[in-house]
Structure 1
């Protein structure tokens, strides 16, 4: 990529907060990458202060940017994090948008991480469902390119009295092994196809690499970096 071209226009720092890692990258106005992705392990405990410090450290390595887009693993309303099952209880009703804006001295927009991953992947045609398979089980729903916010399907009942996240999150994968996890995922895909009658289902997240069965034509695996690339859409929209 021509460095002279990438230096033009408004640059956006994309941040993806996950249960196991915090990632950052700088994007140009078209959503193309200007820098290399950087990553640190999610602090433990993953308090707001600790995660904000991790983001500040990543931002200092990424060079110049004028605005920030953040993907967060929980319900987000107007920049305020309402839930964070895989982080720390202190995130409940925490104004991440304001806190990060003050820390970085830049305008910040925040959305659910699966929503942002979907924004980076969808075609904007018909009903499109996004599932992120990582520490937890994220979800996002789009209709003709328009987001239905804060779906949070991971905490809904799936089977045997457990939720999708309890059956398909990373802890379950580590406990039951790859084959049983894949069997569960196949069942979940069949359930959700009947529930949403989607045109396309996108599967992302760090554990999507473990999928070992033939997916239906309407199901697509998307790269993990979509969780950063989709951040530009928060500003474009």
Structure 2
């Protein structure tokens, strides 16, 4: 496994000035990689971002081992981790994995489901499992919800749409997280779900120009569903949107922002507010 920093969780300059408070280990789980960092109480990242690839098949015990290793490395780097926030793709309800789309696959996203691994993941009481194993309190939410927690102002209906391995979404009303809707698996056009229409595998096939056009189509289709007061467009592929697409997106509601993917890590601390 590799990481983006020469020393995992190396301290950065923010660690010298941020109001540290109880430190949160943020773990953002994607279909292709798992990103993590240490957050101060205000969401400031006080360590370098640590990234490791996901290898398939990916059973629950391996996921737990990865998070345990991250906790150990953060503590070894001199951070005393008080709590854990984990963002996971799929339907997460009350810290329980109702369904996750990627990690149940035999060889990565969009490959056949491994029934044995699916049985481990779906129904997993993830938050209590972390507490039991590592002794720190944990919050486990959909990864787009952790993303949104870093961005919302707490006023009106605020929606986060994340474009990465597939489509992620979350919505908050006056600062309160609302019940998760797994839009990614809804049918967008006949015979094709949102994930199948704008997922990473499609972007690689058709290129950024055509993919960006599809993202605009998706946002246009979702605006009448939400009539949001603000929408945040992010995720691992947001930086691949073309300038024309970015300009077009501004027509969908009075407040549209395209944000960097790493903000999800800052949302880890905000989840505890």
| TM class, shorter-length | over 0.9
In 2, are the aligned partners of 1:132 and 1:205 still within 8 Å (CA)?
yes
Distance 1:29 1:193 in 2: 33
Q: 1:84 to 1:2 in 2, by over 3 A?
A: closer
Equivalent of residue 203 in structure 1, options 218, 229, 233: 233
| TM-score, normalised via structure 2 length | 0.81
- 1:174 maps to 204
Q: How is 1:17-166 mapped onto 2 (pairs within 5 angstroms)?
A: 17-63=29-75, 64-88=80-104, 89=118, 90-166=120-196
Match of 1:216 in 2: 250
Greater mean alpha carbon deviation, residues 42-51 or residues 64-73: 42-51
Gaps of 5+ in 2: 1-12, 105-117
TM-score, length basis structure 1: 0.93
Tell me, yes or no, if the aligned pair for 1:129 and 1:139 is still in contact at 8 Å.
Answer: yes
Q: Distance in 2 between matches of 1:8 and 1:134?
A: 30
Q: Distance in 1 between matches of 2:192 and 2:175?
A: 31
Q: Distance in 1 between matches of 2:93 and 2:14?
A: 37
Q: Which runs of 5 or more residues in structure 1 are unaligned?
A: none
Alignment partners' CA distance in 2, 1:65 and 1:193: 39
What SS is found at the alignment partner of 2:228? coil
CA contact (8 A) 1:115 1:149 kept: no
